[in-house]
A and B are shown apart, each in its own frame.
Chain A
Amino acid sequence: MSNGALGRRTVLAGMGAASAAGALAACGSSGGSGGDGKLEFQQWWEPELPEGFLRELMDEFEEANDGITVELLSGPYAATKEQLIAGAASRTMPDVLGLDGAWVNDLASQNALGDLDQLMSDASYDDADLAAKVEVDGATRMIPVVNFAYMLFANRTALGKAGIDALPTTREEFTAAAKAVVDSDPDVAGWVLPLSLEAPNGVQNDVMSWLWADGQSMLAEGKPALESDAVQGVLDYIVELDEQGLIAPGSATLKEQDKVEEFSSGRAAMIVDTVAHVNMFRTNSPDLDFQVAAMPTGADAAGTPGVTYGSWGIGVAEASENKEAAWKLVEFLMGEDVNARMATAANAFPGNSTAVPEAVKEDDVMKTAFDVWQSGTPVNEFVGLPVAEQLMREFAEQLQKTLEGSQSVDEALAAAQEAWTAEL
């Protein structure tokens, strides 16, 4: 054999081996952690819970379930979402998934989420205690572990200075309170409306919460119904607040954390916010005297008021080789005691309807919030919708245009309806 031929063979063999190694490395595992009883649990919760809390729960679970170990894959919310979307495509998802309701439809359409009804049935699990289940195409894909109710937060000091003693219960009272606040101190805004396009969940939490509080809907038979009188009434009301100068400036780029900052610093008298921030307000602004209440209602209010909520949901990957063990972990987290502890640690309300978090027994604000939660119907119409974030963004763009004065409410709703119809 000539040197040249030998050389070519060696080079090609070397390149081939290296390429194969690279290709194998790129492929990674084929979903979850294999069938050795080791579960991967990806979520964004661990950084948001007290340090070590979730790991302690996992240790408890491992102790109660011999042979199963749980590896927590934790990261920020946005990174978790991107990794799950990418993982769904490459079939490299972890076994158990922390989910936001806004992602469920898209992940389910990628056939990435397992059928929890089937897993519950296999395990003979009674789902009567589950506060909610999120279904796509007739099968449960997500179970809310803890719920973050959104309601009205009011700075009692600012309202008191403006001569307002009681928290508003109607839109008229809200306008009057906001106006009184702004009149008494022009440096304090009546309300904050975050409409950043980076994280457009202000549409869900701060706009649609008015609609849902009235028991109204943005959908009709699963299709957009944005040109209804009820939705128009909400937008007319927001425009009215804006025209009166009662909304904090800079809405178009404000995010949720900006809203929270405005409120905790005393620059805004009222916001719509999640009860998860109660402890943060107390820690960061010990002098802030605030209370929560149900969302003020409008003239269209009918039936049981809706309470906007977001969730830390949980699901099981369709590609998991450990579905049985994965379900055991879900069942463990939904147990009455564990779920109550999770809710207490997260400042949220439990996904198990029989669980009662400790905080509501001891804390006046949390007790009021829990009463509001229990007296209303949890509602979030974006949960389970496809491209939910994009729907919010499209609505936010139209509302931004309206608040800038470049189009009317009618035009905004017609444009949003057209955009949503194309998506749904």
Chain B
Amino acid sequence: MPASTAVEPTLGASPERSDRPRRPRRSHLQGSPLRPYAFLSPTLIVMLVLMAVPIVMVVWYSFQDSAVTVPSTEFVGFEKYQQVLSDGTFWKATSNTAIFAGVSVIAHFAIGIAFATLLNSELLSPAVRAVFRTVFILPWLFTVAVVAVLWRMLLNPNGIVNYLITTFGISDSSIEWLSSSATALPVVTFINIWCGYPFFMVSLLAGLQGIPKDLYEAARVDGAGPVHQFFHVTIPQLRPIILSMAILDFIWTTQQFALIWMTTGGGPVDTTEMLSTYTYKLAFSNYDFSAASASAVVVLLLSMILAILYVRQQKARD
């Protein structure tokens, strides 16, 4: 007799019913090797429709001559990849994206760890920490559109930044921050740093609060000062979080589109052209959806390398 049928009579249960051995309803899936998949099927279907199908379609488009725009398009193999990879603007966009994302991630970490350490410090009163926490997290609360408009206004040749630098004699004339080839990329990178560091800060703060106090006490007993404690206790303890955040942030930043589009449109010329804006222009300006798909697949492959690194890092952490 299965163990599940040995049910003790419960208080209040009718004697007739309790006398009968209960036969549990047995699903026809019970014991089936497909049972786990049945439970997973809603998620699998959603992923199939929302992820697998679009990705497969984009890959398929990338092998066609005039996907989307022409009903009878032809299979052209890797021709569109050749077109994209031989385009100087693509490599310029790749280089810009690498600089933009690389500098952003490093700065996000540096600012994030500095502010997180400050917020975790017991030297500040809880009230002051609450104020700082609110102020530091503010940039994260703005949508990208608001951030773009805000900084466009601030950095306008007639904006407040130029007013301040000319008033205080830092520069004799206004600087065309976003319109000059010399400053556009550093400036959009700065804006991205400004609006992205709070995510790092919050994650690192959570990590800092999880570091056992006795590790610091042990370090102090061994004669370690604050700097040594930071590099030999704090950083090693935060290492898994830092690695995860850095990889995720790099992936997200390489996909940044709205901020670039709304501040510079990829210009002046191609100074701030990113892979995202380059792909968008191919699709919605050139109407070359096949080349745009090829570009998107290249970006997907690059992102997958980072995603694999992330997954491996997560596995090692577990």
Q: A residues near B, CB below 8 A?
A: 3-4, 6-8, 10-11, 14-15, 18-19, 22, 26, 81-82, 85-86, 88-89, 106, 109-111, 195-200, 248-254, 267, 387, 389-390, 393, 396-397, 400-401, 404, 406
Are B34 and A7 in contact (CB-based, < 8 A)?
A: yes
Residues on the A chain within 8 Å of B261, using CB: 198
Are B28 and A7 in contact (CB-based, < 8 A)?
A: yes
Whether A7 contacts B29 in the complex (CB less than 8 A), given A397-B270, A401-B269, comes out as yes
Which of A15, A86, A106, A393 makes the CB contact (< 8 A) with B45?
A15
B179 → chain A closest CB, angstroms? 4
Number of A-B contacts (CB under 8 A): 129
B148 → chain A closest CB, angstroms? 10
Asked if B48 is at the interface (CB within 8 A of a chain A CB), the reply is yes
Are B287 and A85 in contact (CB-based, < 8 A)?
A: yes
Whether A252 contacts B268 in the complex (CB less than 8 A), given A4-B31, A390-B281, comes out as yes
Interface of B is mostly: loop
Residues on the A chain within 8 Å of B289, using CB: 89
Chain B: residues with Cβ within 8 Å of the partner, total of 48
Asked if B231 is at the interface (CB within 8 A of a chain A CB), the reply is no
Whether A250 contacts B31 in the complex (CB less than 8 A), given A19-B48, A404-B181, comes out as no
Residues on the A chain within 8 Å of B49, using CB: 22, 26
Are B41 and A7 in contact (CB-based, < 8 A)?
A: no
Are B284 and A82 in contact (CB-based, < 8 A)?
A: yes
Given contacts A19-B45, A249-B174, 17 further A-B contacts (CB under 8 A): A3-B29, A3-B32, A4-B33, A10-B38, A14-B41, A18-B42, A106-B287, A109-B69, A198-B265, A252-B269, A253-B184, A253-B263, A253-B268, A390-B281, A396-B267, A400-B268, A404-B268
Asked if B254 is at the interface (CB within 8 A of a chain A CB), the reply is no
Residues on the A chain within 8 Å of B180, using CB: 252, 404
Interface of A is mostly: helix
A405 → chain B closest CB, angstroms? 10
Are A393 and B281 in contact (CB-based, < 8 A)?
A: yes
Asked if B71 is at the interface (CB within 8 A of a chain A CB), the reply is yes
Whether A8 contacts B286 in the complex (CB less than 8 A), given A19-B48, A249-B179, A253-B264, comes out as no
Residues on the B chain within 8 Å of A86, using CB: 68
Query: Which 6 A-B residue pairs are closest in the complex by CB-CB distance?
Result: A198-B265, A197-B265, A252-B268, A7-B32, A252-B179, A249-B157
User: Considering the chains assembled together, what is the distance between the CA atoms of A11 and B41 in angstroms?
Assistant: 8
User: Considering the chains assembled together, what is the distance between the CA atoms of A250 and B42 in angstroms?
Assistant: 52
Are B33 and A251 in contact (CB-based, < 8 A)?
A: no
Interface string of B160-188 (1 = CB under 8 A from A): 00000000000000101011110010000
Whether A11 contacts B267 in the complex (CB less than 8 A), given A22-B45, A22-B49, comes out as no
